[in-house]
Amino acid sequence: MSRPTADVLAILTDAASAGESLWIGYVDAEGRGSQRVIEPVSVVGGQVSAYDHLRGAMRSFAVHRITGVSPVA
């Protein structure tokens, strides 16, 4: 699931444009990892704004904390 940052940015941007959901691996500021399904809305300044299905709300994710990304099957 791990990909280079440029690939992650491209996938996030494409998903935001197409309105597609993605699985992401994410590490928070305390070092805790999680897997989430998100619906990216925008990618700006190293942040992705997305609807987070785990939290049931819009959230902002730091792209450098995303450990992996893949399409939802």
- β-pair partners for 57: 52
Which pTM was predicted? 0.89
Domain that holds residue 49: 5-71
Helix (H, G, I), strand (E, B) or coil at 58: strand
Using an 8 Å Cβ cutoff, are 24 and 35 in contact? yes
Q: What is the CATH number of the domain that holds 38?
A: 2.30.30
Q: Is the pLDDT of residue 68 over 80?
A: yes
Q: Is the pLDDT of residue 53 over 70?
A: yes
Residue pLDDT, tens place only, 9-18: 999 999 999 9
* pLDDT confidence of residue 2: 60
Q: Is the pLDDT of residue 1 over 70?
A: no
Number of domains making up the chain? 1
Give φ, ψ of 12 to 5 degrees.
-60, -45
